[in-house]
Structure 1
């Protein structure tokens, strides 16, 4: 199933990042550029680095100048994340372009790639919650609470994976159709953000 393959790639990306556990480490994609695995690996790497950006910026003692620089990196990362999701949707649009859509076909509330985006974030939540549930210097209460949360996340993984695979099957068989809208984020656009164009 697609979701199972995607989650393995997300796990691979997360494990690779945590070898050095450094937001500044160079990125290397092990998958060929013409494969969907390439986009999935890149997508999760963006999410993983941003996860750690978000940890760093919450340090109450962070230097304000460093915080501002980090905020700019988070903004750029968010745009990169959005662009990559749209590339993934383009892959599905091309893959299913010749499907005969049924007359009573319906549209989904989100595209396949945005559901996959949630699965990528979920992989990170599972990794870090497992880490907390096993942290040696944490209290037994903390570990028990994190273990309970981990079980919920694992159940969510099962449900979300099922939903993604069902959506892809429905698109493939013409029961649903894809319609993708660009995110059109206005705050990054110098012609749309009044703070920028009034300068």
Structure 2
């Protein structure tokens, strides 16, 4: 099985599992063995799915300001969890390919495998929710037609991105490309790097 076939299957399963309750406070029930790549892929997409719905909720024009601030904090934490997990998945790839000797003319990719997988996870969510729009009964024909066109484009995107990720992994295995991972070094969460935080700390 190609790696992205595994990804897409797990992502679709995760989204379906989430929508059995469709509640951002539902506890995750990861069916895969701890610390396997399947476990991390399921967890990755669960985080993305919950955050997708956070982003829907916070755009409610009538949301209570106090509730909105609390939700913004949850979104910030979710973003950090997402980044941490992407780096963890890249660590999996680094370990998997640690014995591969890159060729003298090997090239680096614009993004690491895990960040490409991150885009594939978000794409699975777009596909699910665009399909929901296509299936809505109370909308007019124009809405249905526009969403059907968008769904077709998203399906093509998933096919292309899946192919590109598989080819990247094959190139890394063959030594024609190599991985180089940079930590995100986000500054606004770091009390030593965000001036709003460190200026208050030093007062």
TM-score range with shorter-chain normalisation? over 0.9
Q: Does residue 1:91 correspond to 2:92, yes or no?
A: yes
- 1:159 and 1:56 map into 2 onto residues whose CA distance is 31
1:138 offset after TM fit, Å?
Answer: 1.4
How far off is 1:116 after superposition?
A: 0.2
Q: Distance in 1 between matches of 2:109 and 2:193?
A: 29
1:198 aligns with 2:199: yes
State the Cα distance separating 1:195 from its structure 2 match: 0.5
Equivalent in the alignment of 2:58: 57
CA deviation string 1:105-135 (max 9, x = no partner): 0000000000000000000000000100111
Which residue pairs with 2:74 in the alignment? 73
How far does residue 34 in structure 1 lie from its aligned partner after superposition? 2.9
Q: Which runs of 5+ in 2 are unaligned?
A: none
Separation (CA, whole Å) in 2 of partners of 1:28 and 1:196 = 36
Instruction: State the partner residue of 1:18.
Output: 19
Query: 2:125 and 2:89 mapped to 1: Cα distance?
Result: 19
SS of 2:144's equivalent in the other structure is helix
Deviations 1:133-191 (A, max 9, x none): 11111111111100000000000001000000000000011010000000000000111
Q: Give the total of aligned pairs.
A: 199
Q: In structure 1, how many angstroms separate the alpha carbons of the residues matched to 2:81 and 2:141?
A: 39
Alignment partner, residue 133 of structure 2: 132
Shift of 1:35: 1.2
Comparing 103-112 and 139-148, the one that deviates more: 139-148
Segments ≥4 residues shifted beyond 3 Å: none
Separation in 1 of the partners of 2:19 and 2:43?
A: 15
Q: How far apart are the structure 2 equivalents of 1:19 and 1:138?
A: 24
Aligned equivalents of 1:137, 1:39: Cα separation in 2 = 38
Q: Which residue in 1 is equivalent to 2:39?
A: 38
Distance 1:54 1:173 in 2: 40
TM-score (norm 1): 0.99
Unmatched tracts of structure 1, length 5 or more = none
In structure 2, the partner of 1:164 is: 165
Distance 1:54 1:139 in 2: 26
